[in-house]
Amino acid sequence: MGGNVGVGKLSTTNKLHVKPDLDTEDPVRFEDLQASTDSADKVVVATSTGVLKTVDGTVSQLKTFIKYNASSGSSLLGISLLGTYTPVGFPLSGREFDENSEFSTTTGVFTAKQDGIYNINFQANSKGLLGAGTLGIGIFKKEATSSSYTLLAEESYVNLNVSVLFIDLDVSPPTRSTQTLVKLNAGDQIVFGTDVGVVGAALLNGFEYQFSIHQVK
């Protein structure tokens, strides 16, 4: 049968166009649907105009909610960031939650499973006295089609010490924190880095780290 079929609708725009008599009525209902064991199932979704389409059922539709803590960081090999920044790794034991299983403790990389707007927070706290020199933290992004990371946000400044009656005192706060709101596409990656200047990765274990990622849209 050619043409379009309308139910409650004379002027149709699709092969099957259904319109209820009242706006408060549900226009379509299926009964006795059977469970499927097909690993390649599709999920039916409705557009803003009511047109039904399918999306891959194996692609997660859950929003991202992640929080990790670490009593010490670990240097990640194979990842190059800007300047003297060293990538920070987080152990599995530091995971509070990762609702979409998007952060790898093996690589220290967050990989977005879906397009969206993400709110990202990163913080480092010194567990002892800070020596003179630079201390900074940064959030880095690598697009799925790129091979390099770009800096999204950072907080970095030189630690200051003053001498009072022959006693050296730190006047810089022991905490660095930064936050950003970023649009990510599926496959884009996020890495967290620490800049301890020329001292390098040896100071990573002198800090407590935490980060959170929340998909807002």
- Which of 59, 80, 102 corresponds to the end of one domain? 59
Please check whether residue 117 is in contact with residue 183, taking contact to mean a CB–CB distance below 8 angstroms: yes
Same domain, 180 and 98: yes
Please indicate, yes or no, whether residues 102 and 188 belong to a single structural domain of this protein. yes
| CA neighbours closer than 13 Å in the CB half-sphere of residue 147 | 1
> Whose CA is closest to 55, among 66, 64, 47, 45?
45
Q: Clarify whether residues 35 and 111 are in a common domain.
A: no
Q: Which residues have a Cβ under 8 Å from the Cβ of 119 and sit 6 or more positions away?
A: 179, 180, 181, 213, 214, 215, 216
Q: Which of 13, 37, 59 is the last residue of a domain?
A: 59
Q: How far apart are CA 34 and CA 168, in angstroms?
A: 74
Kindly state whether residues 74 and 168 are assigned to the same domain. Answer: yes
What is the chain's pLDDT, residue by residue, as a tens digit (217 residues)?
567 776 777 777 776 777 777 676 777 777 777 777 776 667 777 787 777 777 766 555 678 999 999 876 555 555 667 777 888 888 899 999 999 999 999 889 999 999 999 999 999 887 655 555 677 889 999 999 998 899 999 997 765 555 555 555 555 677 889 999 999 999 999 999 888 764 444 445 567 899 999 999 8
Q: What is the pLDDT of residue 200?
A: 43
Domain total for the chain? 2
pLDDT value, residue 199 = 46
User: Can you give the pLDDT at residue 7?
Assistant: 74
51 and 138, same domain (yes or no): no
* Residue 215 near residue 64 (C-beta atoms within 8 A): yes
Q: What is the pLDDT of residue 151?
A: 94
Q: What is the CATH number of the domain that holds 143?
A: 2.60.120.40
Total-model pTM: 0.67
| Residues 50 and 109 grouped into a single domain | no
How far CA 98 is from CA of 86, 101, 176, 182, 198, in Å, comes to 24, 5, 23, 19, 34
**In terms of domains, do 47 and 110 share one?**
no
Q: What is the pLDDT of residue 202?
A: 43
Residue 83 is part of which domain span?
65-215
Is the domain of 97 the same as that of 116?
Answer: yes
Same domain, 54 and 115: no
Of 9, 42, 59, the residue at which a domain comes to its end is 59
At residue 171, the pLDDT reads: 54
Residues 40 and 125 in one domain: no
pLDDT of residue 78: 58
**Residue 172 and residue 141 in one domain:** yes
Tokens found for residue 67: 């929080």
Q: 34 with 124, same domain? A: no
Which three-class secondary structure string do you get for 105-124? CCCCEEECCCCEEEEEEEEE
Using CB atoms within 10 A of its CB, is residue 78 exposed (0-12), middle (13-18) or buried (19+)?
exposed
**pLDDT at residue 181 in the model:** 97
| pLDDT attached to residue 194 | 85
